[in-house]
Amino acid sequence: MRSDPLAGGERPIAGATPVKRIGERELIAMMALLMACNAFGIDAILPALDDLALSLGAVGNDRQFIVGVYLLAAGIGTLIPGAFADRFGRRPVLFTALGFYIVLSLGCALVTDFTSMIVLRALQGFFAAGIIALPPAIIRDRVGGDKMARMMSLIFVIFLLVPAVAPSIGQGVLLLLGDWRWIFVTMAVFGSLMSVWVYIRLPETLHESDRQRIDIAVIARNMRSAVTLRSTMGYTLASALVFGGLFGFINSSQQLIGEAFGAGDMFPLLFALCAGCMALANWSNSRIVERLGARRVSHTALFVFIFVAGLQLWFAYQPNESLWTFIPLMAANMSLLGFIGANFGSIAMQPFRHIAGAASSAQSFLRMTTGALLGAGIGYAYDGTARPLALALLVTATVSLLLVLFSERGALFGPPDPDVEET
């Protein structure tokens, strides 16, 4: 067990020159916007799904595959970058992921049939998975414990502002340029700007002493430990389930709000309201988590989430459920996810500083694939009402509570986490 030399457990970045030294605020903003490339890739296209489906010949709920296949492929792809990042460093893997994101965004802008679009979206999600997997590893290179939870919460504040405004940006592109293809061009521009910023300002954060060999047995052992350790396994699976419910909402949101509640023109605004509530909750979490502890905050939020999901289910089975009961309850549960997601992720990463890349990849794989498959199933079960979504939210949250109880051996609401290393 080793203690870190800087206050709060922060480790100095090896080889970072005074010119290239990046401060905490800039690092948080950069990691947030890197992750937001994926959020933008998902949410900016939502207002254009009807136009895209008409243009490419997609029918019914098939349009949801534009989102679902990206999420699933990104989840599978997260298995790859962590091991390479633990060997060669974070920067080379990040640039590779960003390069694929840019090129495949432009490819999506040029497709002429729905099958090609699905293939390219799958490739885009798979090869750009490093943008999802590496930010937590980069943060873990520097800090751990509840301080990591605070930084990840701040990252999610900025990260979630992008999906809050992405549908409006997509809508604006449609209004200005009249073609959904320009939305994918906008994705490529976003990725290019991030590449320049990372190249100029981000030093290598992997310490020489933490470099791992590219050895299948070593990689498999590291990844297996990251997802099978009892104290973290329940948190990884629990976050996969609760975010599967969120993905289900994202997949079906355009149909649910536009068709079931007849508020298609208000979709970007209502989606932004829900995502904005989640961002505000993450900011609030960043203010309290180091004082109260990631466990106390997230466990409390999970209990409240279950209660709100129960209300959602009750209203969903009432005759003539209105938009004005659905949106406040959905926004409330998305807010509660702001107190769950970053904290669960930080708790799950705590023991794995020396294999942070592999651990982040393995946990992201489990979280994203499970969440994406679950979200796709929930979205495809859309039947013209909010019932499938409401039922899924309640069930996934309840099972998540059981998983957390497993990891904590039945003892919830633990104290703040001392910033120590367990490996």
pLDDT band for 406, please (50, 70, 90 cuts).
Answer: very high
Give the 3-state secondary structure of residue 292.
Answer: helix
Tell me, what DSSP letter sits at residue 210?
G
149 within 8 A of 279, measured Cβ to Cβ: no
Give the 3-state secondary structure of residue 178.
Answer: coil
Tell me, what DSSP letter sits at residue 385?
S
pLDDT band for 404, please (50, 70, 90 cuts).
Answer: very high
Q: Would you state the pLDDT for residue 19?
A: 41
Q: Would you state the pLDDT for residue 191?
A: 94
The CA distance from 323 to 329, in Å, is 10
C-alpha distances (whole Å) from 285 to each of 16, 35, 175, 341 are: 30, 19, 37, 10
Element (H, E) at 242: helix 230-255
120-178: pLDDT as tens digits = 999 998 988 888 778 878 887 877 666 777 787 777 777 667 766 777 888 888 888 87
The CA distance from 221 to 237, in Å, is 19
379 within 8 A of 252, measured Cβ to Cβ: yes
The CA distance from 342 to 239, in Å, is 9
The CA distance from 180 to 51, in Å, is 7
Q: Would you state the pLDDT for residue 298?
A: 92
**DSSP of 217-228:** HHHHHHHHHHHH
Sequence letter at residue 324: W
179, pLDDT greater than 50: yes
Distance of CA 262 to the CA centre of its chain: 29
Q: Would you state the pLDDT for residue 106?
A: 95
pLDDT band for 302, please (50, 70, 90 cuts).
Answer: very high
Residues 61-90 as b or e (16 or more Cβ within 10 Å = b): bebbbbbbbbbbbbbbbbbbbbbbbbbbbb
pLDDT band for 199, please (50, 70, 90 cuts).
Answer: very high
419 within 8 A of 143, measured Cβ to Cβ: yes
Q: Would you state the pLDDT for residue 6?
A: 32
263 within 8 A of 323, measured Cβ to Cβ: yes
Chain-wide mean pLDDT for the chain?
82
Q: Would you state the pLDDT for residue 415?
A: 67
Q: Would you state the pLDDT for residue 163?
A: 66
Q: The pTM is what?
A: 0.69
Q: Would you state the pLDDT for residue 188?
A: 95
330-365: pLDDT as tens digits = 999 888 988 898 788 888 888 877 777 778 778 878
What backbone torsions phi and psi does residue 419 show, to the nearest 5 degrees?
-80, 80
Tell me, what DSSP letter sits at residue 9?
G
CATH superfamily ID and name for 18-407: MFS general substrate transporter like domains (1.20.1250.20)
Q: Would you state the pLDDT for residue 5?
A: 35
Residue 303, both tokens? 């209990």
200, pLDDT greater than 60: yes
2, pLDDT greater than 50: no
Q: Which long-range contacts (CB under 8 A, 24 or more apart) does 307-312 make?
A: 308/332, 308/333, 308/336, 309/333, 309/390, 309/393, 309/394, 309/397, 310/394, 312/386, 312/389, 312/390, 312/393, 312/394
